[in-house]
Amino acid sequence: MEILLTGGRLVDPANGIDGPCDLRIVDGLVAEVGEGLAARGATVREVPAGTIVCPGLIDMHVHLREPGQEHKETIASGVAAAVAGGFTAVACMPNTEPVNDHAGITQLIVARAQEAGLARVYPIGAVSRGSKGELLAELGELKAAGCVAVSDDGRPVATALLMRRALEYASVFGMPVIDHCEDPTLKGDGVAHEGFHASRLGLRGLPAAAEEIMVERDIVLAGLTGGAVHIAHMSARGSLRAVRAGKARGIRVTAEVTPHHFALTDERLEGYDTNVKMNPPLREEADRAAMVEGIADGSVDVIATDHAPHHYDEKNVEFDRAPFGIVGLETAVPLVLDRLVHPGTITLARAVELLSVNPARILGVAGGSLSAGAPADITILAPDLETTVDPARFRSKSRNTPFGGWRLKGGVAATIVGGVVKYVNPDVVGADALKW
């Protein structure tokens, strides 16, 4: 089966391409890209006017909740949300029940993802058994079963000693250690960013310093061991300072920022909406502005959603009793386009780096480019699409988003995984033509 995608602007920063370009897909792989390619028997599909053809987006930080918390999300519903959000692949965190600290669980996740047959799913294994922060999990077995990185996400890698050993040991298998940075002794039982708004609302504070201290620790240990550390959901300006300094010293440190941390601040706490309760918490404006700056200047490597579905009942409680986290897969692309690309903060090519090229590189997985021979994982963006975030339309099982009702410019036209169209946005004029 041969498809020729024509009429689009192709943005493939890995190959330095940004312009009108056709793309031929043969047997699920990218066969060639170039201007004015001949049909030569291929089925010709014209992409909708004004859309962008780019390498498939990869969300390297999601919680799919399966096994164990299927009332929040399943692998099937999670990958449906992923392709609807323009993601051809996701990396899922191990804080399931039981924790993904064992090859058997990794295999289950891989099998479920294959059954679902939508986005690719790359499991992330636990650093420690049960993510308890005591004994190392069997990282080699996890790698062999399909894990692409390790993390105790939801909590930090508990001790400096464990982090050191994890960095040393994971490097054998080429896996980064992804850390949820937060000093547990300093964070106390906080529920919101320690600052004016939390003080006014009487919410216990999570100081930015709790994150910054552990980011510094991890960078020092990455320097000591030569291992690769990836800072999950960075939110504090002091963390960014540490990452910049670490990179300048040649330490293998990378960092991600979520859309909510570049789009929102702790001002949103007013009213006690539990859909603005997440960890790390929404920080103050200086932190938000710093995250945007880091995204623009390259200090931040990745935009990842920390997609954290929770059931309505779990969120419909007192603020301090509600679980942390919001869903993000189906709002990330509109937020990146509306808040970062359209205002001119970053180019489309930079957005593709943050959402595709860099996550693929950090995790060591396929994708991130449209080179000949690469899997035909393609996202077609509709940057000028006017969208209104409607949680009722989410494919995710959960609706816990603070962005409901937001009007944003930019969306997804279609998502193609392995040369197969997995999602077409009915709101994009002409997108129907992409179905094959």
Partner 1 sequence: MTATATALAGRHLLGIADLTADEIGLILDTAEAMKEVAERPIKKVPALRGKTVINLFYEPSTRTRTSFEVAEKRLSADTLNIAVATSSVVKGETLIDTVLNLEAMHPDMIVLRHASSGAGHLLSKVCRARIINAGDGMHEHPTQALLDAFTIRERKGRLAGLKVAIIGDLLHSRVLRSNVLLLSKMGADVWACAPPTLIPRGLERLGAHVTTSVDEAVRGADVVMMLRIQLERMEGNFFPSLREYFNVFGMTPERVALAREDAIIMHPGPMNRGVEIASEVADGPRSVILDQVTNGVAVRMAVLYLLAGGGDGD
Around Cβ 69, how many Cβ atoms within 10 Å? 18
Cβ proximity of 264 and 333 under 8 Å:
no
- The residue from 29, 160, 201, 372 that contacts partner 1 (CB under 8 A) is 201
Least distance from C-beta 312 to partner 1, angstroms?
Answer: 11
Least distance from C-beta 54 to partner 1, angstroms?
Answer: 41
Around Cβ 160, how many Cβ atoms within 10 Å? 14
Q: Is 202 in the site for partner 1 (CB under 8 A)?
A: yes
Q: Is 407 in the site for partner 1 (CB under 8 A)?
A: no
Q: Which of 59, 306, 338, 377 is catalytic?
A: 306
- The residue from 320, 406, 409, 427 that contacts partner 1 (CB under 8 A) is 320
H-state helical runs in 41-159 = 75-84, 103-116, 139-145
Q: Is 312 in the site for partner 1 (CB under 8 A)?
A: no
* Spatial separation of the C-alpha atoms in residues 386 and 172, rounded to whole Å: 47
Nearest-10 crossing angle of helices 285-297, 237-248: 30
Least distance from C-beta 392 to partner 1, angstroms?
Answer: 18
Q: What string of DSSP letters covers 66-97?
A: TTT-TTT--HHHHHHHHHHTTEEEEEE-S-SS
Q: Is 281 in the site for partner 1 (CB under 8 A)?
A: no
- Cβ-count burial of 330 within 10 angstroms (0-12 exposed, 13-18 middle, 19+ buried)? buried
Q: Is 189 in the site for partner 1 (CB under 8 A)?
A: no
**Residue 307 DSSP one-character state:** B
Cβ proximity of 216 and 222 under 8 Å:
no
Active site residue 306: yes
- The residue from 185, 318, 343, 373 that contacts partner 1 (CB under 8 A) is 318
Around Cβ 294, how many Cβ atoms within 10 Å? 22
CA 312 to chain centre: 22
Q: Which stretch binds partner 1 (CB under 8 A): 253-261, 319-327, 385-393, 406-414?
A: 319-327
* Spatial separation of the C-alpha atoms in residues 12 and 18, rounded to whole Å: 6
Least distance from C-beta 268 to partner 1, angstroms?
Answer: 13
Least distance from C-beta 155 to partner 1, angstroms?
Answer: 22
Q: Which stretch binds partner 1 (CB under 8 A): 5-13, 16-24, 191-199, 229-237?
A: 191-199
Size of the residue set binding partner 1 (CB under 8 A): 21
Q: Is 324 in the site for partner 1 (CB under 8 A)?
A: no
Q: Which residue has the tokens 């920022």?
A: 257
Least distance from C-beta 372 to partner 1, angstroms?
Answer: 56
Omega cis (within 30) before 391? no
22/212 with CB nearer partner 1: 212
* Spatial separation of the C-alpha atoms in residues 94 and 125, rounded to whole Å: 5
204/407 with CB nearer partner 1: 204
Q: Which stretch binds partner 1 (CB under 8 A): 193-201, 326-334, 367-375, 404-412?
A: 193-201
- The residue from 44, 244, 268, 272 that contacts partner 1 (CB under 8 A) is 272
User: What distances in angstroms separate CA 332 from CA 62, 129, 279, 335, one per listed residue?
Assistant: 12, 32, 17, 5
Classify each residue of 262-288 as buried b or exposed e, where b means 16 or more C-beta atoms within 10 Å of its C-beta. Answer: bbbbbeebeeeebbbbbbbbbbbeebb
Radius of gyration for the chain, computed over Cα atoms and rounded to the nearest angstrom:
21
Q: Is 316 in the site for partner 1 (CB under 8 A)?
A: yes
101/194 with CB nearer partner 1: 194
Q: Which stretch binds partner 1 (CB under 8 A): 143-151, 210-218, 318-326, 375-383?
A: 318-326
14/191 with CB nearer partner 1: 191
Residue 382's SS3 state is strand
- The residue from 66, 101, 153, 194 that contacts partner 1 (CB under 8 A) is 194
209/366 with CB nearer partner 1: 209
Structure-derived torsion over alpha carbons of residues 84, 366, 346, 36, reported in degrees to the nearest 10: -90
Residue 302's SS3 state is strand
- The residue from 43, 159, 199, 388 that contacts partner 1 (CB under 8 A) is 199
- The residue from 196, 286, 312, 432 that contacts partner 1 (CB under 8 A) is 196
Q: Is 319 in the site for partner 1 (CB under 8 A)?
A: yes
Least distance from C-beta 186 to partner 1, angstroms?
Answer: 13
- The residue from 36, 250, 271, 343 that contacts partner 1 (CB under 8 A) is 271
20/202 with CB nearer partner 1: 202
Q: Is 203 in the site for partner 1 (CB under 8 A)?
A: yes
Omega cis (within 30) before 383? no
* Spatial separation of the C-alpha atoms in residues 45 and 58, rounded to whole Å: 24
Q: Which residues are catalytic?
A: 306
Give the residues lining the site for partner 1 (CB under 8 A): 194-205, 271-272, 313, 316-321
